[in-house]
């Protein structure tokens, strides 16, 4: 989970510095807003995840941004797999 948070923070910083138009289009999200559970940040989170998972982030034609985006996607998948394995093992131990 920390890896995903770190990569996402680096990706946001890189977008802010190298591609300000794309960053502005996302609504100037911060890493804190993307990790927030507050309702007011939900739209911003959805917009960022659509940008990342929809592949639009790869259209900026920046190898470093693309590399961090791939790393962020891998970290997200690893997080989901880890949670599923944790839940499965908890259910398995219970029986």
Angle at 75 between CA 22 and CA 52, to 5 degrees: 25
DSSP 8-33: HHHHHHHHHHH-HHHHHHTT---HHH
pLDDT band at 11; cut points 50, 70, 90: very high
List pLDDT tens digits, range 44-71. Answer: 999 999 999 999 999 999 999 999 999 9
The distance of Cα 27 from the centroid of its chain, to the nearest Å, equals: 15
Number of domains in the chain: 1
Distance CA 10, CA 34 (A): 13
Mean pLDDT over 15-43 rounds to 92
Does the structure show a pLDDT above 70 at 1? no
Mean per-residue pLDDT over the chain, rounded:
91
Residue 80 belongs to what domain range? 2-94
């Amino acid at each position: 989970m920390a890896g995903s948070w770190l990569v996402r923070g680096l990706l946001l910083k890189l977008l802010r510095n190298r591609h300000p138009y794309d960053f502005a289009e996302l609504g100037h999200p911060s890493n804190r807003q993307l990790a927030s559970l507050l309702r007011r940040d939900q739209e911003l989170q959805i917009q960022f995840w659509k940008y990342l998972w929809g592949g639009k982030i790869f259209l900026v034609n920046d190898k470093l941004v693309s590399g961090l985006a791939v790393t962020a996607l891998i970290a997200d998948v690893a997080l989901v797999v880890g949670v599923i394995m944790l839940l499965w093992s908890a259910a398995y131990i219970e029986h």
